[in-house]
């Protein structure tokens, strides 16, 4: 039994590095795609505002600016691997809202007709946001470098003033 556990431990350790490479590739590719989507929205805010107005998004003008900047900024942060989990949490909420307003039927059919759900436009970005949120950016990121260098300083159990 001990040798089986040792083998299992070696297999898990072996896949830690490819996992980080996989997460890096996801962040680079989908970060670029999201940055480009945000940049496109920033270039055509009037069209985005009109679309948001047509699907009854509250405050369509302000929301168009916020979504465009969020996508653009999230793409850059994913590429760099900085603030990966917090920005992925915000992006997840944004993409659920995109489903809610832009493809409500697909959102409600997640269990009854999964194909409709995963063929909707927000799906891939939502999936990537959840991967980065749950698994982090991987070893090859500024977030991981910061942890290796001790940022932020750990304060658990201490009184911070």
What's the 3-state SS for the chain?
CHHHHHHHHHHHHHCHHHHHHHHHHHHHHHHHHHHHHHHHHHHCHHHHHHHHHHCCCCCHHHHHHHHHHHHHHHHHHHHHCCCHHHHHHHHHHHHHHHHHHHCHHHHHCCCCCHHHHHCCCCHHHHHHHHHHHHHCCCCCCHHHHHHHCCCCCCCCCCCCC
Residue 79 near residue 87, CB atoms below 8 Å: no
Task: Look up the pTM and report it.
Answer: 0.84
The conformation of residue 153, written as its DSSP 8-state character, comes to P
| Segments in the chain below pLDDT 50 | 159-161
pLDDT of the residue at 160:
43
pLDDT of the residue at 85:
96
The predicted-structure confidence for 68-81, as pLDDT tens digits, reads as follows 999 999 999 999 99
CA 32 to chain centre: 12
pLDDT of the residue at 154:
52
């Amino acid at each position: 039994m001990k040798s089986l556990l040792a083998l299992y431990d070696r297999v898990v350790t072996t896949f830690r590095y490819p996992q980080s490479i996989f997460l890096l590739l996801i962040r680079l590719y989908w970060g670029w795609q999201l940055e480009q989507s945000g940049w496109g929205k920033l270039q055509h805010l009037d069209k985005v505002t009109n679309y948001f107005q047509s699907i009854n998004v509250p405050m369509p003008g302000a929301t168009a600016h916020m979504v465009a900047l969020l996508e653009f900024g999230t793409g850059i942060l994913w590429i760099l691997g900085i603030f990966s989990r917090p920005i992925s949490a915000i992006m997840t909420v944004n993409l659920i809202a995109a489903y809610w307003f832009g493809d409500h039927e697909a959102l409600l059919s997640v269990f009854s007709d999964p194909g409709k759900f995963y063929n909707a436009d927000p799906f891939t970005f939502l999936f990537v946001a959840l991967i980065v949120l749950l698994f982090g950016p991987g070893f090859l990121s500024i977030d991981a470098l910061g942890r290796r260098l001790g940022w932020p300083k750990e304060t658990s159990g201490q009184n911070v003033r």
